[in-house]
Each structure stands twice: as structure tokens, then as C-alpha cells.
Amino acid sequence: MVDHIRMAVAGVGNNVSALLQGIEYYRPGPGDPSLVGVTHPELNGIRVEEIQCVAAFDVDPTKIGQPLTEAIHGSTNNFPQIVDLVGESVTVEQGILSDQIRPSGVEQVVQRLRDTEAEVLLLSLPTSRPAAALAYAEAALSAGVAVVNCSADPVAREPGLLRRFASASLPLLGDDLASQFGSSLIHRALLDLLARRGLQIDGTYQVNLGGNEDFRNLRDAGAPKLTSKLNVLSTVPGVASLSVIPSGGHVPFLMDRKVAHISIEGRGWAGSRVAVDVRLEVQDSSNAAGVIVDLVRIAADGRRRRVGGFLGAASTLLKSPPPAEDGWER
């Protein structure tokens, strides 16, 4: 039995809803709990249910002031309710505004992180809010708190910031989650397989559709996500043409489900044609929570052991980790 991880969250969206409900879902009850869907029931000696949320920040006026247990179902969130969250809830507090970053707003977050003795700050902001993401990371650094960045905005890929986290013995893990079983993971594995078997890949594409707020945001502001997905896919050798559409559109009817179409065309022995088409359907935010639960435990463990900067154990859980030259080992 270890001390529970004291986690703060910035961005009370679908990812956080799926994470907190999942932690409750896996809490041991009478009999053996089912651990189906958990990659590591125990990681660095820490179990899934040993993560506790001690502070929450958002900028949506309908979430601020609400108990976190209610805010996770509010506003644009549409991850389904799978359990009732029981016990005392923290209240969602005013976060750092993306377009008006004031020192007083950052200082409030620093103070709250200190007061709640948070160990890890989970940054779960919409993608394309780079200044806000960096301001939260600075607040965490001032308060002595490790950071996990879910979004595709560069935070761990800021070399100066990463060095400062390393000097402070604080982990900084990012950027952009590689979902538990997501389209880039599958696409990459298929391209690697064709290349390894000697096939020529003439062209390939990936189109993603979903009905949650992340998809609506990525439809209009998807540039960092495109870069991040290309980081995963563009290093397969011999791919003549690659196209990635992070959000092919917002389809409200899909709710929090994501549908991805992956297509690959190539040539095998004596020029014979090969085509692969895959349709992947997942609950989008569960797919995120399934890796966040590991990243938070890796970050907390690193902070407790006073190992800072980027930690190699996190690299396969992220689409865009910092380059290894930035001082971490695989």
C-alpha cells in the first residue's frame, strides 16, 4: 500500500471524465474486481485506484464552482456515465484563461497546487492553446509539481522548459497521448509490417471522425495534431504518399465515439497489387484514459524518486515525446 497520488487537473473535459469514472470502476469491491482494459494493474507499485484528484481548473463558466463529480457530465462533455462517483468531491476552480494570461491567474494556480499538496498536474486542455499549456507548466514548476501534457501543443518539446524540470527533479511528460488502441498506433504497426515484408507502399491515408468537443476543436484548429500524427507515421521508410486528416469533421451523432478509416495501397511480388482497409471504432476518451492512468503513475513515481525531465518509460504512451537528444534514455 502506497500513499495515494495527489493529482490536479487542468481541463475538466471528456478525458478527465473517463479517467475519474474509470478509477472508480476499477476500485476493488467485494470479490475480485475485473481489470479488463487495464494495461498495468500495478505500475511502480501504484494501483489504478490509488490516484486521487485534489484540485481541478477549468475556464468554462458552467463548470467553475461545480463539484467535479457533476462538472464531468456538464457543458460539452459527452463521455457516458458509467459509474456514480462517490465520496467528497473537489470544486472546479477558475483556471488560466487561454487568451488573457495574467501573472495573478498563474499565481492562483501555483498557490492552489501548493495548498492541496498536488504531486502531478494533468494538462488536458483542448489542442491549440499553447500559451495556456505553457503557463500551467510554469505554475507546476513553481509549485514543485510534475506535469503530464495530453494535448498536441509543445510543452515537453520545449527544450528550455524540459531542462528546468530536469534540474528541479520534476518529471515533464508529453506531448499528445498515443491512445491505448488508437488509429496512429494501428496505422504505424500496419505500415511497419508491410515495409518489413518487402512491400512497396504507394499511398496511404487516415481519416478520423468523432462527435465530441475534441473533434469539433480539431476540425477548426487541428494543425498541431496533424504534426503530431505525422511524427508517428512519417518515419516509416519507403512510403511514397501519406495523408492524415486528424478530424474529418464533427459528427454529433457519434457522441464520444471515434471512427477512423485507414487505407493502404502497395505492391508486392512482381508488382502485384495489395490493398488494406481498416475501420476502427472506439470510445474516444476511454482510449485516452487507458494511457493517462499510466502516465500519471510514471510522473508521480519519478517525482517521489526525484528523477526529473522526460522519463523513457513514458515514450510509447505519447505521440510526440521530445527527441532523445534532449537528455532522456529509451
Q: 85-115: string of b/e by CB count within 10 Å (b at 16+)? A: beeebbebbebbebeeeeeebbebbbebbee
- Based on the shown chain and the rule CB under 6 A, indicate whether residue 126 belongs to the binding site for ligand NAD: yes
Indicate the residue among 15 and 201 with the shorter CB distance to ligand NAD: 15
The sign of the CA dihedral 18, 19, 20, 21 is positive
- Based on the shown chain and the rule CB under 6 A, indicate whether residue 287 belongs to the binding site for ligand NAD: yes
- Based on the shown chain and the rule CB under 6 A, indicate whether residue 176 belongs to the binding site for ligand NAD: yes
- Based on the shown chain and the rule CB under 6 A, indicate whether residue 69 belongs to the binding site for ligand NAD: no
Find all residues with CB under 8 Å of 71, minimum gap 6, and list them. 12, 56, 58, 63, 92
Indicate the residue among 166 and 232 with the shorter CB distance to ligand NAD: 232
Find all residues with CB under 8 Å of 35, minimum gap 6, and list them. 26, 41, 48
One-letter identity of residue 175 = D
Q: Which residue, 64, 58, 71, 45, is CA-closest to 9?
A: 58
- Based on the shown chain and the rule CB under 6 A, indicate whether residue 173 belongs to the binding site for ligand NAD: no
- Bridge partners (DSSP) listed for residue 224: none
Site string for ligand NAD, 142-161 (x = CB under 6 A): --------xxx---------
- Based on the shown chain and the rule CB under 6 A, indicate whether residue 57 belongs to the binding site for ligand NAD: yes
- Based on the shown chain and the rule CB under 6 A, indicate whether residue 96 belongs to the binding site for ligand NAD: yes
Among 7, 19, 48, 125, binds ligand NAD (CB under 6 A): 125
Among 213, 267, 274, 304, binds ligand NAD (CB under 6 A): 213
Give CA angle at 64 (171, 154), nearest 5°: 30
Residues within the interface to ligand NAD (CB under 6 A): 10-15, 57-60, 77, 95-98, 124-127, 129, 132, 150-152, 176-177, 179, 212-214, 217, 284-285, 287-288
